[in-house]
Amino acid sequence: MERKAKEKVLEELGDKLKRAGALFLAEYSGMNVAQISKLRRDLDNVGGEFKVAKNTLLKIASTGTGAEALQDFAGPNAVIYSFKDPVGVAKVLTATAKDVPKLKLKSGLLGNKRLSGPDIATLATIPPREVLVGRLLGLMLGLPQRLVGALSWNLMQLMLTLNAIKTQKEGT
């Protein structure tokens, strides 16, 4: 690779490493072109990107970024960027790793937190953002209704007790 081409790749890698909300590092050796193409399409659908880069260029590009914490740059590596939904990207990666055992999830970075392979699988079990927002709204709307129900039940009990005392005094 020529020096100018390497500089261009370094600039592109550095820019993506800085912009990405989450990064995942995977070993892809043994995967065929069709499997990698399908993975790229699936990642593109959830706002992710699959990029194969030389380890030395990856090390140089990661200096000064959060990706510097990833030190698993050994063997044929692919960097998977998540620009929108890290959970969606983790779901695609774990599903593909189950279907294609040759894809090995090595590590990841979510914000400033370093993730291991099992951590990525755990991240994939989180429900989508829309579901979490819906649950939060349901919880927030349900609490005032429960409070009103509890308070009105106490008032109802008081009224029933007073009514029973009234009927008892009228009967005697």
- Amino acid 17 reads L
At 165 the pLDDT is 92
The mean pLDDT of 42-65, rounded to a whole number, is 83
Query: What rounded mean pLDDT belongs to the chain?
Result: 84
At 15 the pLDDT is 82
pLDDT-derived band at 69 (thresholds 50, 70, 90) equals low
> Tens of pLDDT along 111-153?
888 888 888 888 888 887 788 889 888 888 887 787 788 778 8
Calculated CA dihedral for residues 45, 109, 129, 136, nearest 10 degrees: 180
Closest CA to 51 of 40, 65, 66, 63: 40
Q: In whole angstroms, what is the distance from residue 50 CA to residue 41 CA?
A: 9
Which residue in this structure is represented by tokens 């959060």?
A: 66
Q: In whole angstroms, what is the distance from residue 1 CA to residue 3 CA?
A: 7
Q: Is the pTM for the entire model greater than 0.75?
A: no
